[in-house]
Structure 1
Amino acid sequence: MTQPPPPPNQPPGPPPGGFGAPQDPPPGGFGAPTPPPQQQPSYGYPQQPPAQPQYGYQQPPTQPQYGYPQQPPTQPQYGYPPQQQYPQAPPPSGGKKLSAQMQIIIAAAVAVVLIIGGGIWYAASGDGEETNNTAGGSSGSSQGKGGNGLGGGGKEKAPDNPKSQLAFQLPQPKVPDLTDMSGSWITDKAFVKTGVDSVVGYDLDKGSPVWTLPLPGQVCGTSRHVTADNKTAILFEATKRVGPRFYQPCTEVGVIDLGTGKLVWSAAVTGGTAGDQKVRFSEVTLSGTTVAAGGTDGGAAFDLANGNPRWKPEANAQQCYDMGYGGGEGLVAARKCGEYGSQYVVIQNLNPLTGAPISQYKMPAGVEYASIVSTKPLVVAADVGDAAGDGSGISDFFSLDEKTGKLKVKIAADAERYAASCRSTKVEACGRVVVGNGRIYLPTEEHEGSTGEYGDETNEIVSFDLATGKPTPEKADAGDRYTLVPLRMDGGNIIAYKAPPYDKGGQVVSIDGGTMKQTTLLENPSDEPVRDAETSFSENGSEYRYAAGRLFISQTLVSKPRESSSTDDKKYLVVAFRVAG
């Protein structure tokens, strides 16, 4: 193919020194060599001072599963699935809880420091007056509502009675080894979920299969984005897994129709460091009429309609390759370049039809991987110099101008304070963070609630302005013993899941993106059997999908059954709830 031109207005220059731990030698990428741009100044909003000791466990990422940070395409069905998250290492636990009096003294002192430093630390309000839950929607500007003109315009409406009932439960399939079953979507007629060498559409209310798409091998990647006519992209293996390794390379790219369960097309490419072998991919996304897949062999793109290649990995002098892409309203590549031991990462906003860079930004030294949180507005997350230290993959967010590639602002995300997370080796796999209304919304870590009693941990959802990097004054409180997890945007509103205490059912809420006031969309039963089914899913390793009064919780990883496991220890692939009315 014709090599794409280098990005505009980028001064040439040699790559900087190596960052972090040694990495595998990079394969070639598509396109003409891209001269590394001059590093932009990357310090916006100042680092906030350290917070008090946190309570509760660190909430790491998983797959499409909490909220998709990206902007979903407009579609007749109900949104696109949130990104998956993967379990990450919990933060070190620390010390005894402080007395109420001592906490007040410390909080007052910290507040003074933060005011002087220009930062804001949100303590739990503990009023518990508003209910917090999650739902999703597209990011971007919203219809005016509230004093600041933000929020509103969502499709998800509160029912007359948000009380829900269990719709169905699906048992986990038997697998010979640990199997990734990430990927789920909701249409107006089915809940679609990856299975063993298959993708299956289930009746929304009954859970019975309405269609099954058999595949030659296991699904090994899915896109969170869905077109207006229910098409999405997947990756799958060319043959079935066999022992003792139970592994096959992830080489096949395909588009499926979520309405009919048909495989529209499938394709594979060769090139780059893969040579005459098929290129291996690790993730796939969708933007407009382009399907793009990336990995350590480089990136390739295909025509959504017929699978014709638009570009594929090619050798280049800078040894650059596309690790992966962020999709949705735009198409953005995270590109790694340089010699082994001295590599650097470049973010390129691409023309989805040609792959030519529109703009690019060189990430600062100490960045080995980068994650695309949103393509429009363009927001990137990275762990600079492994500073996060908690496995979240995020030390800072970078708000970029997608037209010029210039840095607008860098927002520090203190790992002890905020609970967003990204799977660092994947480009489009962030969770617990969403973008809309010119803001980035993320949850705080759990901390002690208003009662000061054991088990009353809570948190908030807060936001930062993407133009200035400053925290906004509004916040949404989960209330004592609940924890808020943002899933996706719905117009100018945030759809969030409200993880429950041991004796309650979970909730889904819509949060106005301007006022942060909450509306309950769904509240699950607190009966013990139903509650046990809901809480059998780890928040860090499951997918949560909400649309039109229905909540689907599904596993992303299924293990081989243990011989010693009790028959009473039920394992579910999917648990579904729907508003009773």
Structure 2
Amino acid sequence: MSFGPPPSIYTHSALEADRSRARRRRRVLGAAAAVSAVVCLGAGVLWYDSAGHEKRRTDTTQARQAPDAIRETVEKTPVSPEGQVVVQHNEPNLTGKQQRLAPGTWATGKILARAVANHIEGYRIEPDPDWDAKAWTLTLDGHVCATSRDVTADGRTAIVVQPARAKSSGKNGVCDEVIMVDLDTGKKLWQQTMPSAGSAYVTNTDIALTQGVVAIAWREGSVAYAMDGGKRLWNTTVATSRCPDTGFAGGRALLALVTCGEGDNTTYRVAKLDPRTGRTVWQYPVSKGVNSVWLPSADPPVIAIQAGDYTVTDLISLDSKTGEQLTRIPMTKYKPDCSIDMYFGVVAKCYGMVVGRDRVFVMSKDNDDITKPENQITAFDLKKGTAVAKFQGRPFQPVLPLRTNGDDLIIYRSTLDDVRPAAVVDWNPQTGKETPYLLFHLPDEYGRLSNPDDSDILYEQGHAFFARRELERDDVHPKDPVLSVIGVGSAGLKH
């Protein structure tokens, strides 16, 4: 299976580069004029709490993590929320109608990395970067098959690759190569061939990282490797298990989605595994009649289910020690989406929802009344299932939960307004306080960048990144490079 043509060397005239830099400065830095007006606007927060209850403070300190722990950064409030471009890359040489797919985006404090087709590229994060400030390129043996959002505390991640093979080999399209990458340097740290993975394809291969372990599943088997050195720790096949692992969720723990049967007879269970041995710690049987199951969080364990609909219908939180169900939260009025991608490792990738230590933050469905806020984010208690706080969007300014920040939530508020800028804000659900982190305008012609259906949207170490997952040629200007990613940082943040 092919995911588009391999990249070729990028050439672009200095004149066009200067023009593009001028355009992006005008659009992004143009938000400065609106900063004072925006900061004075209402926070749009509704907060529910019992009178007299002591309010827990948000933890703004961060314990030093082990190098192979999955990164959990706590963000600092920038000196100024005024935005400036810190990364921009345009993908060259797109031909015909074929898409070039970009299934992975990761950021460190220094580098924004993108997996595109059969390579990974790293771009330097710096104020007003030179045109296409590429730091490194890692060429792979074939196209990327599966990626994880997990990044270690010292800036590593792992991917699964589909090595290029002749059709006569009988293994054309098989995704059986796992690679560990240092995102700051672009160095390949180790590479292994997955055992008995002849049925691993882009449509069924899933990868997760946790506690010094890289785990991969492909429905007919699974395997785990040590992050340090790539030693194989354990593996399973259909010969050893009639109910194979479909996929994993990583982070602080390792959850497996276990699938039994096929078609209408399919049943699911969720298992917490010991990452080093693969041993089952506990299991939770999902009710029969469920069409699909996803794992948006391993710790605290939260599962999303599709029961008789085309979207997520319920969220279920489990006890992290026993696997017993704590609560079930109906999603009738909400819009978490776990089925945008049909490949590249999807079991743990859900948009429009973020799981915190004891809260889950979920984006609502859009409001049809254009005079009212576009949508809202609701925080639910994971033990009781009750709504405990709400953050309102604004008319023509929908809000999207991005990630937790200690006990706070980082939110992206997009805009269709030429005056009011888009914003990244920190929201404390305990106090209702909204703190602006970044204020900016994205270029008009790149509206899809703000849509989580089309783009990866990240905020990491003071920078917001918008990265298209599918890159297509512009038919009007077929020879022009196409914007792949743009990053915004604070004009007042020292780099």
Band of TM-score, shorter chain: 0.7 to 0.9
1:33 alignment counterpart:
none
1:232 alignment counterpart:
157
The residue correspondences of 1:448-459 to structure 2 (distance < 5 A) are 453=371, 457-459=373-375
Label 1:355 to 1:318 Cα distance change in 2 as closer, same or farther (>3 A).
closer
Count, aligned residues: 417
Label 1:300 to 1:289 Cα distance change in 2 as closer, same or farther (>3 A).
same
Label 1:570 to 1:278 Cα distance change in 2 as closer, same or farther (>3 A).
closer
Amino acid in structure 2 at the alignment position of 1:165: Q
CA distance in 2, matches of 1:241, 1:330: 39
1:486 alignment counterpart:
401
CA distance in 2, matches of 1:536, 1:566: 19
Label 1:363 to 1:169 Cα distance change in 2 as closer, same or farther (>3 A).
same
CA offsets 1:479-509 (integer angstroms, 9 cap, x no match): 2321110011111111111111242432101
1:500 alignment counterpart:
415
The residue correspondences of 1:100-119 to structure 2 (distance < 5 A) are none
Q: CA deviation at 1:218?
A: 1.4
CA contact (8 A) 2:178 2:194 kept: no
1:383 alignment counterpart:
306
Label 1:460 to 1:568 Cα distance change in 2 as closer, same or farther (>3 A).
farther
2:455 alignment counterpart:
542
CA offsets 1:93-147 (integer angstroms, 9 cap, x no match): xxxxxxxxxxxxxxxxxxxxxxxxxxxxxxxxxx960179xxxxxxxxxxxxx95
CA distance in 2, matches of 1:491, 1:290: 24
Label 1:536 to 1:410 Cα distance change in 2 as closer, same or farther (>3 A).
closer
The residue correspondences of 1:280-295 to structure 2 (distance < 5 A) are 280=201, 282-295=205-218
Q: CA deviation at 1:329?
A: 0.2
- Structure 1 residues 462-471 or 422-431, which shifts more? 422-431
Aligned partner of 2:351 among 431, 434, 443:
431
2:327 alignment counterpart:
409
CA contact (8 A) 1:170 1:573 kept: yes
Label 1:178 to 1:240 Cα distance change in 2 as closer, same or farther (>3 A).
farther
Q: CA deviation at 1:152?
A: 4.4
1:219 alignment counterpart:
144
Uncovered stretches (5+) of structure 2, i.e. residues with no partner: 1-39, 46-52, 62-73
Label 1:481 to 1:313 Cα distance change in 2 as closer, same or farther (>3 A).
same
Q: CA deviation at 1:210?
A: 1.1
Label 1:320 to 1:179 Cα distance change in 2 as closer, same or farther (>3 A).
farther
* Structure with greater contact order relative to length (CA < 8 Å, sep ≥ 6): 1
CA contact (8 A) 1:297 1:321 kept: yes
CA distance in 1, matches of 2:77, 2:219: 45
TM-score (norm 1): 0.67
Amino acid in structure 1 at the alignment position of 2:150: H
Q: CA deviation at 1:569?
A: 8.3
The residue correspondences of 1:35-184 to structure 2 (distance < 5 A) are 129-130=42-43, 147-153=54-60, 155-175=74-94, 177-184=98-105
1:202 alignment counterpart:
123
Label 1:130 to 1:284 Cα distance change in 2 as closer, same or farther (>3 A).
same
Q: CA deviation at 1:457?
A: 4.8
2:267 alignment counterpart:
344
CA contact (8 A) 1:447 1:458 kept: yes
CA distance in 1, matches of 2:263, 2:396: 48
**2:494 aligned with 1:573, yes or no?**
no
CA distance in 1, matches of 2:241, 2:86: 54
CA distance in 2, matches of 1:420, 1:500: 20
Give the match's secondary structure for 1:313. strand
CA contact (8 A) 1:534 1:575 kept: no
CA distance in 2, matches of 1:213, 1:131: 44
CA distance in 1, matches of 2:253, 2:337: 22
CA contact (8 A) 2:253 2:298 kept: yes
Amino acid in structure 1 at the alignment position of 2:393: A
Q: CA deviation at 1:293?
A: 0.9
CA contact (8 A) 1:408 1:468 kept: yes
Aligned partner of 2:439 among 523, 527, 534:
523
Give the match's secondary structure for 1:381. strand
CA offsets 1:396-453 (integer angstroms, 9 cap, x no match): 1111113222111111111xx212111286311111111114111111122156xx54
Q: CA deviation at 1:169?
A: 2.7
CA distance in 1, matches of 2:406, 2:137: 32
**2:374 aligned with 1:463, yes or no?**
no
CA distance in 2, matches of 1:322, 1:458: 39
Q: CA deviation at 1:317?
A: 7.6
RMSD across aligned C-alpha pairs, in angstroms? 2.7
Give the match's secondary structure for 1:151. coil
CA offsets 1:530-580 (integer angstroms, 9 cap, x no match): 343455553311011222332211111223x26x43469873101122212
Label 1:448 to 1:537 Cα distance change in 2 as closer, same or farther (>3 A).
closer
TM-score (norm 2): 0.78
Label 1:232 to 1:565 Cα distance change in 2 as closer, same or farther (>3 A).
same
CA distance in 1, matches of 2:125, 2:378: 33
1:442 alignment counterpart:
362
CA distance in 2, matches of 1:219, 1:352: 24
Amino acid in structure 1 at the alignment position of 2:382: L
CA contact (8 A) 2:401 2:411 kept: yes
Q: Which has the higher strand share?
A: 2
CA distance in 2, matches of 1:368, 1:556: 26
Amino acid in structure 1 at the alignment position of 2:93: K
Aligned partner of 1:553 among 458, 466, 470:
466
CA contact (8 A) 1:252 1:268 kept: yes
Aligned partner of 1:262 among 169, 187, 207:
187
CA distance in 2, matches of 1:224, 1:536: 18
Q: CA deviation at 1:515?
A: 2.8
CA contact (8 A) 1:131 1:519 kept: no
CA distance in 2, matches of 1:580, 1:477: 27
Label 1:457 to 1:471 Cα distance change in 2 as closer, same or farther (>3 A).
closer
Label 1:161 to 1:269 Cα distance change in 2 as closer, same or farther (>3 A).
closer
Give the match's secondary structure for 1:532. helix
1:188 alignment counterpart:
109
